């Protein structure tokens, strides 16, 4: 049963940040993840601070330098359908289009998608796991077929977002506003590994809100894409996924590459190994095979998720092959 809580709908960002900083507050955007967590008592709330009265957090608009600004309350459906996103930031449009189901994409926001909590069944279930302040990660010796192969330590969750890997590949920044002011940082620096803090997935401080996502103008000829492999075709989280953003020289050699994996680590996992394997190379069969091997260097599969190794290799070869 859903516990009772107060619901407040501030009319200014300053008021929202102040209320969100108070003990017992939880931030509410579309609610598609938050309300499930409260219903299942993953965590509790005395007060929901709804962002839905803050019109300045809505919308998608061009920036003066030719980039794009996504308000935190832009829905995932709006992002997926936006003409400029589809044309110039294809990886993001493709990532947003495979989030959940049409209903959830209409309700869920881009800010909520980046701040959503992990889907690990031990974290979501009735287990005092490390992420909830306990001393055991039950996935290590338990049912771990959907867990991490990179970046695990005291916790082996995978980050659930499909838009985050695409946004990191596209060099997005996020603006965070809190009681002490605002800061802007690369999205890549927003996420936190368990070894740094096992109880949180991102750097947000109490009262701090993600207010917008800023995409820089894409380089000339930038090609980008996102694909995830999932157990069901209708809707499902990624067992593994990959976003890329690549530019080619006129002779088809790779001039710049950013590659980010999803479904394999507690944070969207930037694969510098793959980027190094393709830089300065033509994306021919030999390079694709080398990049696929490079993608899984350092992977540490658990007892039941070794299949992700081959899945990642297949994704890397397939997606880089598309970039040509
Ligand atoms: C059945 C189901 C399937 C799903 N499948 C997918 C999937 O395939 N891929 C995927 O990526 N996601 C998936 N999701 C996750 C998620 O619901 C959506 O991605 C959605 O975008 C979350 O946005 P929201 O606005 O509803 O977030 P909310 O539920 O309102 O918030 C989510 C979390 O983020 C915090 N938060 C929200 N906005 C902000 C903000 N601006 N600043 C600071 N904190 C904030 C909230 O406090 C909460 O902890 C799924 C969810 C469900 C229920």
Contact between residue 163 and residue 96 where contact means Cβ atoms under 8 Å apart: yes
- pTM of the predicted model as reported, rounded to 2 decimal places: 0.98
Distance 146 CA to ligand 1 centre (A): 19
Partners of 136 in beta bridges: 129
Distance of CA 169 to the CA centre of its chain: 11
Atom of ligand 1 nearest to the CA of 100: 5
Distance 31 CA to ligand 1 centre (A): 7
Angle formed by the axes of helices 307-322 and 285-295, nearest 10°: 140
| pLDDT for 3 | 86
Among protein residues, the one with the nearest Cα to ligand 1's atom 36 is 112
Per-residue pLDDT of the chain (324 residues; tens, 9 = 90+): 788 999 999 999 999 999 999 999 999 999 999 999 999 999 999 999 999 999 999 999 999 999 999 999 999 999 999 999 999 999 999 999 999 999 999 999 999 999 999 999 999 999 999 999 999 999 999 999 999 999 999 999 999 999 999 999 999 999 999 999 999 999 999 999 999 999 999 999 999 999 999 999 999 999 999 999 999 888 899 999 999 999 999 999 999 999 999 999 999 999 999 999 999 999 999 999 999 999 999 999 999 999 999 999 999 999 999 998
| pLDDT for 234 | 81
Contacts of residue 232, Cβ cutoff 8 Å, sequence gap at least 6: none
Among protein residues, the one with the nearest Cα to ligand 1's atom 43 is 209
Order across the sheet with 47-50: list the strands. 6-8, 47-50, 25-28
Among protein residues, the one with the nearest Cα to ligand 1's atom 47 is 27
Atom of ligand 1 nearest to the CA of 236: 8
Distance 275 CA to ligand 1 centre (A): 29
Please give the Cα distance from 248 to 226 (Å, whole number).
18
Distance 75 CA to ligand 1 centre (A): 10
Atom of ligand 1 nearest to the CA of 161: 11
| pLDDT for 233 | 82
Neighbours of 307 (CB within 10 A): 13
The CB of 210 under 6 Å from ligand 1? The reply is yes
Q: Is 232 helix (H, G, I), strand (E, B) or coil?
A: coil
**Distance between terminal CA atoms of the chain?**
52
Distance 35 CA to ligand 1 centre (A): 10
């Amino acid at each position: 049963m859903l516990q009772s809580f107060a619901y407040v709908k501030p009319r200014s960002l300053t008021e929202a940040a102040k209320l969100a900083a108070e003990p017992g507050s939880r931030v509410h955007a579309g609610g598609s993840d938050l309300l499930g967590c409260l219903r299942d008592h993953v965590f509790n709330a005395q007060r929901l601070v709804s962002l839905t009265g803050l019109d300045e957090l809505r919308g998608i608009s061009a920036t003066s330098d030719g980039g794009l600004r996504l308000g935190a309350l832009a829905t995932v459906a709006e992002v997926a359908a936006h003409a400029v996103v589809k044309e110039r930031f294809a990886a993001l449009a493709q990532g947003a289009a495979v989030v959940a189901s049409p209903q959830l994409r209409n309700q869920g926001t881009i800010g909520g998608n980046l701040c959503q909590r992990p889907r690990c069944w031990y974290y979501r279930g009735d287990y005092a796991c490390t992420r909830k302040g306990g001393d055991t990660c039950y996935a290590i010796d338990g049912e771990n077929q959907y867990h991490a192969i990179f970046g695990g330590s005291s916790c082996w969750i995978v980050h659930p977002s499909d838009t985050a890997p695409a946004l990191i590949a596209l060099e997005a920044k996020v603006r965070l506003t809190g009681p002490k002011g605002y800061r802007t940082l690369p999205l890549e620096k927003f996420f936190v590994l368990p070894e740094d803090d096992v109880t949180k997935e991102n750097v947000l401080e109490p009262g701090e809100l993600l207010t917008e996502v800023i995409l820089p103008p894409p380089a000339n000829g930038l090609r980008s894409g996102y694909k995830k492999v999932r157990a069901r075709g209708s809707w499902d989280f990624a067992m593994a996924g990959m976003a890329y953003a690549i530019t080619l020289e006129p002779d088809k050699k790779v001039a710049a590459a950013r590659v980010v994996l999803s479904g394999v680590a507690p944070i969207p996992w930037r694969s510098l190994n793959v980027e190094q394997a393709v830089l300065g190379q033509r994306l021919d069969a030999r390079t694709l095979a080398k990049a696929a091997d490079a993608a899984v260097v350092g992977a540490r599969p658990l007892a039941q998720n070794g299949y992700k190794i081959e899945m990642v290799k297949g994704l890397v070869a397939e997606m880089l092959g598309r970039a040509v």
